[in-house]
Amino acid sequence: MTKKVTKIGVLTSGGDAPGMNAAVRAVVRTGIYHGLEVYGVMRGYSGMIDDDIFRMESRSVANIIQRGGTILKTARSKEFNDAEGRKKAYDNLKKRGIDGLVVVGGDGSFRGAQRFSNEYDIPCIGIPGTIDKDIAGSDFTIGFDTAVNTAIEAIDKIRDTADAHDRLFIVEVMGRDAGYIALHSGIATGAENIFIPETKTDIEELVSSLMEKEKRSKLVNLVVVAEGDEFGANEIAKVVKERMPTLDARVCILGHIQRGGSPSCIDRVIASRMGYHAVECLMVGRHNVMVGILNNKMNYIPLDKAVKAKQRINPEWMKIVKILAS
């Protein structure tokens, strides 16, 4: 028989993502609805180790659903990689009687949660909070939609100036291991080429296609590159400039604006649904699963599977990019 949870903790960990606050709000209010005591843990696993843990009430999460970032703050904790750090974290939860944990974060945070719950008797439920969408078992991760919309807004503006000057713009967007932000923002802004970590980057092919376009007097071109691409925007620009010295090529690295801002409707709604279901999971005795949404239905996948099995890029998407950019 599974033990009924009575006190739960919630934390946000790893890279921040817009919509994390909406998830925290949902966890807190669903927990209180079920009569649980809910505790907020500051700065991810660091707060668990440093005992920065506080009781949350319904009002603690008032007026945050629309705010980017995370009121619980986030951090990367080296100490949590060590058995000693995890023991300290456990002791701090245990002394308050916390018997369930909700972790909002990315694959690293899930690896940590998996390890922690293998060692100790505290079930962990993961909520995918990452702008990169580099997690399996969910069509959505919290923050991706907002980030990609921020990227689109910026790229649209870049396109205006590229158009005025007949320039090639190479725009680098976020995505260390996954090219989803590049793929979506590139398709949505009509990019000529998209370079992502999942596929081979052929700069020679880009140069040939730019030369061919130059012959047709197509001078405004946009290339979107994921930060985790094997070359990156600066290297691609360098090679293109060497091969086509007359081409006016510029690089723009969008950077951290993609992490900030008020979460989109989609991110607020999925965060609310996932937060609600994470608490439901703890109530029915599930443990060490990630709450995802697949085909608009809740999907529960073991934390280690969510981390290991990355989503695959459908090759048809790259074909679509090529055809539509001609």
In the complex, least distance from residue 9 CB atom to ligand ADP, rounded to whole angstroms: 15
108 belongs to the binding site for ligand ADP (CB under 6 A): yes
**Between residues 11 and 56, which has the closer beta carbon with respect to ligand ADP?**
11
Name which of 69, 111, 81, 104 is nearest 259 in CA terms: 69
Q: By CB under 6 A, tell whether 107 contacts ligand ADP.
A: yes
Smallest gap, in angstroms, from Cβ of residue 175 to ligand ADP?
13
CB 275 within 8 A of CB 30: yes
Is the distance from CB of 127 to CB of 274 less than 8 angstroms?
Answer: yes
**What CA–CA distances, in Å, run from 135 to 131, 283, 320?**
10, 24, 23
In the sheet that holds 53-56, the strands lie side by side as: 53-56, 37-41, 7-12, 100-105, 124-128, 289-294, 297-302
Sign of CA dihedral 276, 54, 98, 83: positive
Please report, as residue ranges, which positions from 128 to 167 form the binding site for ligand ADP (by CB under 6 A): 130
Does 218 bind ligand ADP (CB under 6 A)? Our answer is no
Alpha-carbon gap, residue 59 to 25, rounded angstroms:
9
Of these residues, 16, 99, 107, 132, which one is catalytic?
Answer: 132
132 catalytic? Reply is yes
Closest separation in Å from C-beta 132 to ligand ADP: 8
Stretch 57-96 residues interacting with ligand ADP (CB under 6 A): 76-77, 80-81
**What is d(CA 101, CA 119) in angstroms, rounded to the nearest whole number?**
14
Of 12, 92, 109, 272, the residue at the interface with ligand ADP (CB under 6 A) is 109
**Residue 15 binds ligand ADP, judged by CB under 6 A:** yes
Active site residues: 132
Write out the residues near ligand ADP by the rule CB under 6 A: 13-15, 45, 76-77, 80-81, 105-109, 111-112, 115, 130
